[in-house]
Amino acid sequence: VMARIHPEDRDLYRTAFSPGEERAFQHIIRVVPPDQPLRYLECDGLIQTDADGQPAWLIGVARDVSDRQLQEHALRTQTERLSLALHGNAYGVWEFDFATGRLLWDEQMHIIYAVPPGGFRETIEDWQRHIHPDDRARVDAGGREMMAKPAPNCGGGFRIV
């Protein structure tokens, strides 16, 4: 069994079966089957020990979660790349929640608008207050147009005050 467990996960496996008190465990370990790709197993179980604290009985289940682990890894990689691209080019990210009316900013948006963290009230009105007065009507019209189209283009620049 130990030979099929990924070398970096063997200590975790050994620890689970080391002497001690009765305990439950939940781990994800990597398994290297012969002539097959690496697999991820989610293992849950209970170890009962004898009077000397030695493992005496084990019951458990294992589930192959390889697809989920690979998808999570791909998502993390993609997220890291996007973050590097956004912040490397000084892009800020905002998000509007239609249900609550909250406008959420990331840290870079606060830098762009020169607003300290906590200084933005997360409303459209507060954001509009930062738009140059000569640009507000055009930006407002663009926002209405953007909301009316099924595939909106939210391009267009404006000045910040």
The number of beta carbons lying within 10 Å of the beta carbon of residue 53 is: 12
Q: Where are the beta strands (DSSP E) in the chain?
A: 23-31, 39-49, 55-64, 94-97, 102-105
Over the stretch 24-42, which tens digit does the pLDDT of each residue have?
Answer: 999 999 999 999 999 999 9
**Can you give the pLDDT at residue 106?**
92
Contact of 44 with 61, CB cutoff 8 Å: yes
Closest CA to 41 of 31, 32, 49, 50: 31
Distance CA 28, CA 40 (A): 6
pLDDT value, residue 31: 96
| pLDDT computed for residue 77 by the predictor | 96
